Chain A
Amino acid sequence: MTEIIVDCGRHAGIKRYQDLFQYMPHSWQKHFDRYEWLGSVELASNHIRVTDKLRHEPVPAYVPTPQPGQRELIIPYQGLTVNGWADRVGAKIYLDALNCYAEENWICATSTLALVVSPHDPAWSAKLIRSRAATGTVSAVCIPLIPEMLGTRYWDPIYEACVEHNLPVITHFSGVEGSYVGAPSLSGGVHQSPLSRLVLMPHLAESNIASLMFEGAFYRFPTLQILFAGFGFKWLPSLMRRMDQEWRNFRSDVPWVKDPPSTKVLNNVWLSSYPIGEVLDPQSWDSEFDARLRQRIVFNSHAPFGHDTPALLSEKLGPEWSSLLMRNGARFLDLKNTEGADARNYH
């Protein structure tokens, strides 16, 4: 077992959506306080758990319990589902309330917040980031995924605000991807089974990493840091090799990409360990991870949803990997306190 536990993706949720109303303007409370919304938002968070295996049990309320040697990055997971919402104005009111609730109820000495922003209104999101960054409770900015790729200029207002405050971006699927209109689809088409969608979520990370690389996001924002949480990581070396090869062949199509894309992965991108089931049998793959690449992987439990534990991590990956991932996680959570690109990049 490792000395410290750093969980860069612990989910926390409200038990009753009515609990958010106190953080909303009165008229918006009235707008949301009806079955049409309360019923459907509950269902929208329950979209993927449609089999016995993934059945929806009431999620235990998150209660912060400070423990020595333990740190958690809290993702208000119910905010992620706004990527499937039709009402984008209402989604901002909802997110604002959820973030406020999270700051008041889930943050403690050992837990900090991944502030969930609106993917539909980057300018509004940038204002939100700037207003909350100074509170000291926020360690990252969580972007729900939509079909706008993360490498495009659409996201620049959010990235500007993040870079201004040394806040890394974290992204994680809400579960409605490949299912609800408004959220990104998965490659190839529409899958019938929620299990297909679940196992193919890494598509979203691969697509967005390629977009970030080839659309020059890390040249516009050289210090921007992005964690793809919950997508696994074993597939990363093959993506890096493929991107580098295509860059060598077709560099003139993307002349703003001045370095092999893999170098930007090593300086700007983070991946997480969940689902640990993806990375069994390390001796069959870990030679693909050199020292620099290993520095970019962090642990996330995905708790309370079929979560990975530190003990499981150590059992599956061994104590050396496990300890490294925890140390990497501490570096990730400390990015907000880090000045300048040199300190945040591996050398």
Chain B
Amino acid sequence: MPATTTETSPTQPTAHNIGKLADFPERKVMPADAGGRTIGVLRHGEEIFAFSNRCPHQGAPMCRGQAAGTMLPSEPDEYHFAMDGLVVKCPWHAYEFNVQTGESVCGIMRAKLPVYKTEIRDEDVFVIMGRAQG
């Protein structure tokens, strides 16, 4: 897990530096320490997505989840693969979540996976730990 530093302000959400962009391989969920809290991080090209380590279904550790794509709703016997690298699958029950929004793919459950805003400044990755989105 990359070392982190924290930028705080009394009125602003806290930005945690969780490492360099190069520290995060694509298509692999990485754990990161954001102010003492373990979160999941998934890189997609030059973007970074961060999300809670707790699956909203039964609390599985999402840092151990699988980075994936998914099949979009289709006609019978057709497959349309999409969202490659933007889906994280729960390690316990394979529930799929869109890491951009935290929503379960195709609405199989109402609850969302909490996601956090991220920023890349130069090569440093920051996770903004105000209230989680989702």
Q: Which residues of A contact B (CB under 8 A)?
A: 153, 215-217, 219-220, 247-253, 255-256, 258
The reply to whether A249 and B94 contact each other, CB–CB distance below 8 Å, is: yes
**Chain B positions 90-114 with a Cβ under 8 Å from a chain A Cβ:** 93-96, 105-106, 108-109
Question: Given B73, B93, B94, B95, which contacts A255 in the complex, CB threshold below 8 Å?
Answer: B73
The reply to whether A248 and B108 contact each other, CB–CB distance below 8 Å, is: yes
B77 within 8 A of A: yes
B74 within 8 A of A: yes
Task: Please name the residue on chain B nearest to A260 by beta carbon.
Answer: B108
A160 CB to closest chain B CB, in angstroms?
14
Q: Please give, as numbers and ranges, the residues of chain B lying within 8 Å of A215 by CB-CB distance.
A: 76
Given A255-B71, A258-B106, decide whether A249 and B76 contact each other with a Cβ distance below 8 A. Answer: no
* Additional 13 contacts, C-beta under 8 A, given A153-B77, A217-B76, A258-B73: A216-B75, A220-B76, A248-B95, A249-B93, A249-B94, A249-B95, A250-B94, A252-B105, A255-B71, A255-B78, A255-B80, A256-B73, A256-B77
Assembled-state Cα–Cα distance A216/B76 (Å): 6
B72 within 8 A of A: yes
Report, nearest first, the 8 A-B pairs whose CB atoms are least far apart.
A216-B76, A255-B71, A252-B71, A256-B76, A248-B108, A249-B94, A255-B74, A252-B70
The reply to whether A255 and B79 contact each other, CB–CB distance below 8 Å, is: yes
The reply to whether A255 and B72 contact each other, CB–CB distance below 8 Å, is: yes
Assembled-state Cα–Cα distance A327/B94 (Å): 42
Secondary structure at the A interface, as helix, strand, loop or mixed, is: helix
The reply to whether A216 and B77 contact each other, CB–CB distance below 8 Å, is: yes
Which among A216, A219, A255 has the greatest number of chain B C-beta atoms within 10 A?
A255
B40 CB to closest chain A CB, in angstroms?
19
Q: Please give, as numbers and ranges, the residues of chain B lying within 8 Å of A256 by CB-CB distance.
A: 73-78
A72 CB to closest chain B CB, in angstroms?
35
Q: Please give, as numbers and ranges, the residues of chain A lying within 8 Å of B76 by CB-CB distance.
A: 153, 215-217, 219-220, 256
Q: Please give, as numbers and ranges, the residues of chain A lying within 8 Å of B95 by CB-CB distance.
A: 248-249
One digit per residue, 1 when the CB lies within 8 angstroms of any chain A CB and 0 when it does not, for chain B 54-79 equals 00000000000000001111111111
Assembled-state Cα–Cα distance A220/B75 (Å): 8
Assembled-state Cα–Cα distance A153/B109 (Å): 30
Assembled-state Cα–Cα distance A253/B106 (Å): 13
Assembled-state Cα–Cα distance A215/B75 (Å): 10
Q: Please give, as numbers and ranges, the residues of chain B lying within 8 Å of A220 by CB-CB distance.
A: 76
Q: Please give, as numbers and ranges, the residues of chain A lying within 8 Å of B77 by CB-CB distance.
A: 153, 216, 256
Given A252-B70, A256-B73, A258-B73, decide whether A247 and B78 contact each other with a Cβ distance below 8 A. Answer: no
The reply to whether A251 and B106 contact each other, CB–CB distance below 8 Å, is: yes
Q: Please give, as numbers and ranges, the residues of chain A lying within 8 Å of B71 by CB-CB distance.
A: 251-253, 255
Assembled-state Cα–Cα distance A302/B79 (Å): 43
Task: Please name the residue on chain A nearest to B69 by beta carbon.
Answer: A252
One digit per residue, 1 when the CB lies within 8 angstroms of any chain A CB and 0 when it does not, for chain B 97-134 equals 00000000110110000000000000000000000000
Question: Given A216, A217, A251, which contacts B108 in the complex, CB threshold below 8 Å?
Answer: A251
Assembled-state Cα–Cα distance A255/B107 (Å): 12
Question: Given B75, B79, B80, B108, which contacts A247 in the complex, CB threshold below 8 Å?
Answer: B108
A212 CB to closest chain B CB, in angstroms?
11
B3 CB to closest chain A CB, in angstroms?
36
Q: Please give, as numbers and ranges, the residues of chain A lying within 8 Å of B109 by CB-CB distance.
A: 248
Assembled-state Cα–Cα distance A256/B78 (Å): 7
Task: Please name the residue on chain A nearest to B78 by beta carbon.
Answer: A256
Which among A215, A251, A253 has the greatest number of chain B C-beta atoms within 10 A?
A251
Assembled-state Cα–Cα distance A219/B76 (Å): 7
Assembled-state Cα–Cα distance A247/B93 (Å): 11
Q: Please give, as numbers and ranges, the residues of chain B lying within 8 Å of A250 by CB-CB distance.
A: 94
Assembled-state Cα–Cα distance A247/B73 (Å): 13
Assembled-state Cα–Cα distance A258/B95 (Å): 15
**Chain B positions 27-71 with a Cβ under 8 Å from a chain A Cβ:** 70-71
The reply to whether A248 and B105 contact each other, CB–CB distance below 8 Å, is: no
Q: Please give, as numbers and ranges, the residues of chain A lying within 8 Å of B105 by CB-CB distance.
A: 251-252
B80 CB to closest chain A CB, in angstroms?
7
A262 CB to closest chain B CB, in angstroms?
13
Assembled-state Cα–Cα distance A251/B107 (Å): 10
B44 CB to closest chain A CB, in angstroms?
18
Assembled-state Cα–Cα distance A306/B51 (Å): 61
